[in-house]
Structure 1
Amino acid sequence: MSTQTFEFQVEARQLLQLMIHSVYSNKDVFLRELVSNASDALDKLRLAALRDDTLDADVSDLHIEIEIDKDARTLTVRDNGIGMSYDEVGQLIGTIAHSGTATLLKELREAEDGAGAEGLIGQFGVGFYSGFMVADEVTLVTRRAGESQGTRWTSRGEGTYTLEKVDDAPQGTAVTLHLKPADPENQLHDYASEWKIREIVKRYSDFITWPIRLVSRAATAEGDDSAREPATLNSMKALWARSRDEVSDDEYHELYKHIGHDWRDPLETIRLQAEGTFEYQALLFLPSHAPHDLFTQGFQRGVQLYVKRVFIMDDCEALLPPYLRFVKGVVDAADLSLNVSREILQQDRHIRMMQRRLTKKVLSTVKDMMAGAPDRYATFWREFGAVVKEGLVTDPENRDAILAVSSFATTHSDDEPTTLKSYVERMKGGQEDIYYITGESRQSIENSPHMEAFRDRGIEVLLLTDPVDEVWVDAVGEYEGKALRSVTKGEIDLGARGDEKGDDEREKQTEEYADLLGWMKEQLDEDIKEVRLSSRLTVSAACIVSDAQDLTPALENMYRAMGQEVPRTKRILEINPDHRLVKGLNQAYKEGEDRTVLAETTELLHGLAVLAEGGQPKEPARFVKLVADRLERTL
């Protein structure tokens, strides 16, 4: 087949330009990326060979080879792993099929410093392109295991690449970088130097479980080139199998960066060794920031599974529950089958035991951070709190442990979140419930009419703004015997203060407004099921509330977005009998004023209450016209 020329995807072309014209101070990351890709290819071949006895592939000496040709100024990273087919090369190398590409490009351009920019290179799975930071031309030759024909890919990073099929490609993938001219004034970036390659591999890839061999090629006096005997550069010691004293924090961090595709240090490292009837070792990491696709359906969750140091599975979902999907790491079991499948793992008793213990270990680590490292805990909760709270709904077994490490925004403080335990300790005398309000933002719910009486009496309210908050408060229900109660649902009785009206006056007021309430209910019958006087309003004229057992509008919308049919729930209109507008409406009704005008006023009152809670009137255009007409009459 003849050579074909293709154009890069627009995003890939933009990324290439960033790499080619890179001014990053640390260009060493390109080799870390290429070695990491090679290691993944070897893992995949080992697993494929275990699962398919008929696979025509050589797995007798799986390794990574780095070859330097100082005279030709080329650097080749070669593996004999799974390799790629012709179509896969076009799909994986010619384009960036990743939902976060635009985010990556934006963050690369906006990075305030070189270190911040280079830290993004591997995060989006596009590390191959980093080779263009140090090379004028990149050639990739690959053959997929089990296939007879290989593929050559070549590009100078100038907008196009070529593809051709080749017959003599060995199994695996070889990436050859035609290095840029050496800088005589900066030998630290001479990637044709053997010492430089040794330094990078030792720093970033010493933990790789496959041998990384260095071959240095140089011209002899007779003009022939020769290669030295390959030298293995990495120790290949599994960090999780070594004692804590033998491993530095830097080594742990590099392992995390390798398996987590994240080039920032983890927030916390968790070690666990289980002995007895079922033995396993675990090395887990809590990231320091949430990935951009954490809440997308295709997010790859789970940790790597090994059996007796043999890689079995990436992203093993069965080892941790979905609400801990951000945790990265390695679990190495001693007694599992090497040919285990994802389906078998879901049913395996030992795996379920491991999941329970790993989950408890992660939650206890977060609790320790909460007590001993509040700054790191604050970072963790800011990045992952919304995910962890999913467990309050899905994991009743660990609900108490999750509540113990949860914190929430509160009216008690503008910036310091609170735990439920602290909230209960601050509760006022006679207060029986834990009050909360949900909404899209702190600002919007703090200004809600529903908050007026609570603010007036100095009663603390939890401010819950994550979508999951709408669900877990109903699932949990109570904490230490104190009911979790929404300030927007049911009737609220906060107890009388010294200046409050007494029961007799309240009863008199109810009687005074009885006729108006009944008439308003008739006017709004399609939208509400009751109109009543409010004890939660002190400033606003009206608000919309739900019955204690009703779904909130936000929760109804959430269920509908998931494709579930939810019947429309009529809600309750509460009016403030001390507000001038409500007093005037009642007086006008008693004096027999034009019912059409009063009906419009009632409609406006209801619409304003809907708007105040972030909703939308049923007929926005009609509502706007009514408001405009009323304003016109005041001029």
Structure 2
Amino acid sequence: MDRTFQVDLRGVVDLLSHHLYASPRVYVRELLQNAVDAITARRLADPAQAAIRIEPPDVTGDGTLRILDTGVGLTEEQVHQFLATIGRSSKRDDLGFARHDFLGQFGIGLLSCFLVADEIRVLTRAEGGPAVLWRGFADGRYSVTTEGQHRAEVGTTVTLVPRRDAEEWLRRRTVADLAALYGSLLPVRIEVGGVPVSGGGLPWRTGADGRRERLQEYCREIFGFVPFDVIDLSVPEAGLTGVAFVLPTPANPAARAGHRVYLKRMLLAEGAEDLLPPWAFFARCVIDTSELRPTASREALYEDSLLEATRQALGDQLRGWLVRLAGHNPRRLGEFLEVHHLGVKALALHDDEMLRLVERWWPVETNVGRMTLADFRAQHGLVRYCAQLDEFRQIGAVAAAQNLPVVNAGYIYDTEIIERLPQVEPGALIERVEPGDLTTAFAALDPGLELAKRPFLQLAQRALDRLGCEVVLREYDPAGLPAMYLTSRSAAFSAELRATRERADDVWADVLDALARTDEQDRPQLVLNHRNPLVRRVTELPDHELVRLAVEGLYGQALLLGHHPLRPADAALLNGSFLGLLNKAVGHEGGRG
């Protein structure tokens, strides 16, 4: 035998309060929604009937809150049908009106009032029918009566009897603030205690005179900043209009931006996320939409194909604004990029037009001064770049001295942008430079001189063998730099393996040894500069111990000058060479005395 489900209304209310709605304050929104839907249903017959009046407890005088509307009202049958059936999608379809004309979607809005009330009374009258009183209680009971009920005009009055712990939610100031928050843009007159809180219309649909200043002030009121610029938004298929406000200060790309979203002019969310593509973190939007779907809680947008298409369309409009700036106001574009280059560079990773904009307008750091990538290509042809900031710091000045212009691509997105250049500019030539590559730009010694210095190199190599470093003697500018420590990615990887090997247990040590053996030939280099007077003197020292200490000292200095991290072994060597040289100097002075 079939049976009917029993519903524990208190359990449903608890579910709503803890898992569906973020706050009890939504009860004001749901009451406004029902009233606006009722007015919408009546408006075709009588457009003048468009008013909602809220009377807080200090007006009613009996501790209750009342909301009165001039909407279509309900018959007794509809009261049973709509108010006593949980999950009914509302009266709009049964009354024959198009779904998109209404705010309601899920038919559970009235239940949200039980978040703040123990009893809900609905006094309603439809055209040509008697007044009907519905009384619902938080424990699931309800009653319906027409006897002794009077309401002269068509419409509905909802009365809330507050819960003992919820009186604050029904106070005049709270209700007025919430009614203004949710309903200020609604196309109906809303009053709280006789004071209007709506009727301003959509802020972006105002006259041209002073429009920008008004929108800037509107942005300051709702977001707390005066925007860098204002961008009009429109997505007809989503029934969407609105504006995007460009932040005047840098934004954290990882932070999830919050946008203000209205659904048919009723506030849906103050901090809606994922309305814009992730790269557009420099903008905050206020939009009104008629076609995007809300979630069941009506506090966010439902993720579907229309929202995805809308997100793409809004991203295209922001991109178009940037392109127009580039074409008509380069100075303004430069100001924007100074603040929000990260967002534009993020877009350039996927968008060819934005990549060309970044190449042309955003200056990058190079070892021959700041300039755009377009200017760098025009002056030098080949775009040599360091992919890491430390690499550029290590070789930038020395590479410039060898007439090798290099771009610092160690900042976020710069490497990816440079490596994308040939995809949109077929003639673009790029080459990644590593510190180890710089050795090939240094001049080799004369063969005879190199042969004469071989004994010194053998001594120097023995001094640094235990550190896995190769000693090389070259000539390069500037002559005042005695030595450079140069390494490649693979050499750095091998050095890290060796350092990890020293801390690993026997099992993992064997594994790391096997990995390290594959890169034994790729070692960092200490490149001594034969043009440096000190280096030339060191190569001629007859004292082998003094040669060792001098080479170790040059090694330590090269590490420090190149901003390389010091391993414990490096620190010990640097300390030992300093003390050894000091001891030699003291001993020499003592012997002379």
Deviation string for 1:61-88 (max 9, x for gaps)?
A: 6999999x9xxxxxxxx999xxxxxxxx
Q: Which amino acid aligns with 1:251?
A: R
Q: Which amino acid aligns with 2:558?
A: A
What is the CA-CA distance between 1:614 and the residue it aligns to?
1.9
What is the CA-CA distance between 1:148 and the residue it aligns to?
4.1
- Normalising by the residue count of structure 1, what TM-score does the alignment of the two structures yield? 0.52
Judged with a 3 Å threshold, the aligned counterparts in structure 2 of structure 1 residues 209 and 433 are, in CA distance, closer, same or farther, namely same
- Of residues 182, 185, 188, the one that matches 1:209 is 185
Whether contact under 8 Å (1:149, 1:167) holds in the other structure is no
Structure of larger gyration radius: 2
The residue number in structure 2 matching 1:266 is 227
Whether contact under 8 Å (1:530, 1:571) holds in the other structure is yes
Secondary structure at the counterpart of residue 574 of structure 1: strand
Q: Does 1:281 align with 2:281?
A: no
- Pairs within 5 Å for 1:87-166: 146-148=114-116
The residue number in structure 2 matching 1:41 is none
Give the distance between the partners of 2:472 and 2:296, measured in 1 at CA. 63
Q: Does 1:320 align with 2:276?
A: yes
Which residues of structure 1 form unaligned runs of 5+?
1-43, 70-77, 81-143, 151-164, 177-203, 216-226, 496-500, 557-565
Judged with a 3 Å threshold, the aligned counterparts in structure 2 of structure 1 residues 353 and 622 are, in CA distance, closer, same or farther, namely same
Q: Does 1:58 align with 2:31?
A: yes
The residue number in structure 2 matching 1:329 is 285
Q: Which amino acid aligns with 2:310?
A: M
Deviation string for 1:514-549 (max 9, x for gaps)?
A: 665566455434544544445764231222333377
Secondary structure at the counterpart of residue 543 of structure 1: strand
Give the distance between the partners of 2:28 and 2:190, measured in 1 at CA. 26
What is the CA-CA distance between 1:454 and the residue it aligns to?
0.9
- Pairs within 5 Å for 1:398-547: 399-400=355-356, 402-413=358-369, 417-427=370-380, 432-436=382-386, 438-439=388-389, 448=394, 450-455=396-401, 457=403, 460-463=405-408, 466=411, 469=414, 480-486=427-433, 488-491=435-438, 517=457, 520-521=460-461, 523-525=463-465, 527-528=467-468, 530-533=470-473, 537-538=477-478, 539-547=480-488
Q: Does 1:290 align with 2:240?
A: no
- Pairs within 5 Å for 1:182-201: none
- Pairs within 5 Å for 1:378-393: 378-391=334-347
The residue number in structure 1 matching 2:325 is 369
Judged with a 3 Å threshold, the aligned counterparts in structure 2 of structure 1 residues 547 and 270 are, in CA distance, closer, same or farther, namely same
Judged with a 3 Å threshold, the aligned counterparts in structure 2 of structure 1 residues 362 and 622 are, in CA distance, closer, same or farther, namely same
What is the CA-CA distance between 1:249 and the residue it aligns to?
0.9
Whether contact under 8 Å (2:235, 2:313) holds in the other structure is no
Give the distance between the partners of 2:422 and 2:488, measured in 1 at CA. 16
Q: Does 1:575 align with 2:537?
A: no
Give the distance between the partners of 2:359 and 2:558, measured in 1 at CA. 33
Q: Which amino acid aligns with 2:398?
A: E
Whether contact under 8 Å (1:145, 1:172) holds in the other structure is no
Which residues of structure 2 form unaligned runs of 5+?
1-16, 37-51, 59-64, 68-111, 119-162, 175-179, 498-511, 587-593
Judged with a 3 Å threshold, the aligned counterparts in structure 2 of structure 1 residues 54 and 511 are, in CA distance, closer, same or farther, namely farther
Judged with a 3 Å threshold, the aligned counterparts in structure 2 of structure 1 residues 52 and 249 are, in CA distance, closer, same or farther, namely closer
The residue number in structure 2 matching 1:300 is 256
- Greater share of helix: 2
Whether contact under 8 Å (2:476, 2:531) holds in the other structure is no
Judged with a 3 Å threshold, the aligned counterparts in structure 2 of structure 1 residues 49 and 205 are, in CA distance, closer, same or farther, namely closer
Whether contact under 8 Å (1:492, 1:535) holds in the other structure is no
The residue number in structure 1 matching 2:200 is 236
Give the distance between the partners of 2:257 and 2:337, measured in 1 at CA. 19
The residue number in structure 2 matching 1:96 is none
Deviation string for 1:147-190 (max 9, x for gaps)?
A: 3489xxxxxxxxxxxxxx965616366659xxxxxxxxxxxxxx
Whether contact under 8 Å (1:436, 1:463) holds in the other structure is yes
Whether contact under 8 Å (2:257, 2:273) holds in the other structure is yes
Q: Which amino acid aligns with 2:547?
A: L
Give the distance between the partners of 1:308 and 1:541, measured in 2 at CA. 73
Judged with a 3 Å threshold, the aligned counterparts in structure 2 of structure 1 residues 625 and 400 are, in CA distance, closer, same or farther, namely same
Whether contact under 8 Å (1:392, 1:403) holds in the other structure is no
Matched-pair identity in %: 16
Give the distance between the partners of 1:334 and 1:302, measured in 2 at CA. 20
Judged with a 3 Å threshold, the aligned counterparts in structure 2 of structure 1 residues 488 and 353 are, in CA distance, closer, same or farther, namely farther
Deviation string for 1:191-247 (max 9, x for gaps)?
A: xxxxxxxxxxxxx999952689787xxxxxxxxxxx7x4345x5432234x277377
Give the distance between the partners of 1:56 and 1:345, measured in 2 at CA. 16
Whether contact under 8 Å (1:64, 1:213) holds in the other structure is yes
Whether contact under 8 Å (2:559, 2:565) holds in the other structure is yes
Q: Does 1:604 align with 2:553?
A: yes
What is the CA-CA distance between 1:610 and the residue it aligns to?
1.6
Give the distance between the partners of 1:613 and 1:454, measured in 2 at CA. 15
Deviation string for 1:443-493 (max 9, x for gaps)?
A: x967x5541241463x54434564555776567788752215346352366
The residue number in structure 2 matching 1:20 is none
What is the CA-CA distance between 1:361 and the residue it aligns to?
3.3
Give the distance between the partners of 1:325 and 1:254, measured in 2 at CA. 21
Whether contact under 8 Å (2:334, 2:362) holds in the other structure is no
What is the CA-CA distance between 1:55 and the residue it aligns to?
11
Q: Which amino acid aligns with 1:171?
A: W
Give the distance between the partners of 2:538 and 2:271, measured in 1 at CA. 63
- Normalising by the residue count of structure 2, what TM-score does the alignment of the two structures yield? 0.55
Give the distance between the partners of 1:348 and 1:274, measured in 2 at CA. 16
The residue number in structure 1 matching 2:304 is 348
Give the distance between the partners of 2:466 and 2:299, measured in 1 at CA. 51
What is the CA-CA distance between 1:288 and the residue it aligns to?
1.2
- Of residues 274, 289, 295, the one that matches 1:339 is 295
Give the distance between the partners of 2:307 and 2:389, measured in 1 at CA. 38
The residue number in structure 2 matching 1:587 is 540
The residue number in structure 1 matching 2:566 is 617
- Of residues 208, 212, 217, the one that matches 1:254 is 217
Give the distance between the partners of 1:237 and 1:513, measured in 2 at CA. 86
Deviation string for 1:363-393 (max 9, x for gaps)?
A: 4433443454444334322322245434556
Give the distance between the partners of 1:334 and 1:626, measured in 2 at CA. 76
Secondary structure at the counterpart of residue 323 of structure 1: coil
Judged with a 3 Å threshold, the aligned counterparts in structure 2 of structure 1 residues 268 and 576 are, in CA distance, closer, same or farther, namely same
Q: Which amino acid aligns with 1:451?
A: A
Judged with a 3 Å threshold, the aligned counterparts in structure 2 of structure 1 residues 419 and 66 are, in CA distance, closer, same or farther, namely farther
How many residues matched?
A: 425
Q: Which amino acid aligns with 1:273?
A: S
What is the CA-CA distance between 1:426 and the residue it aligns to?
2.0
Whether contact under 8 Å (2:238, 2:310) holds in the other structure is no
The residue number in structure 2 matching 1:169 is 167
Whether contact under 8 Å (2:383, 2:406) holds in the other structure is no
Secondary structure at the counterpart of residue 281 of structure 1: strand
Judged with a 3 Å threshold, the aligned counterparts in structure 2 of structure 1 residues 623 and 283 are, in CA distance, closer, same or farther, namely same
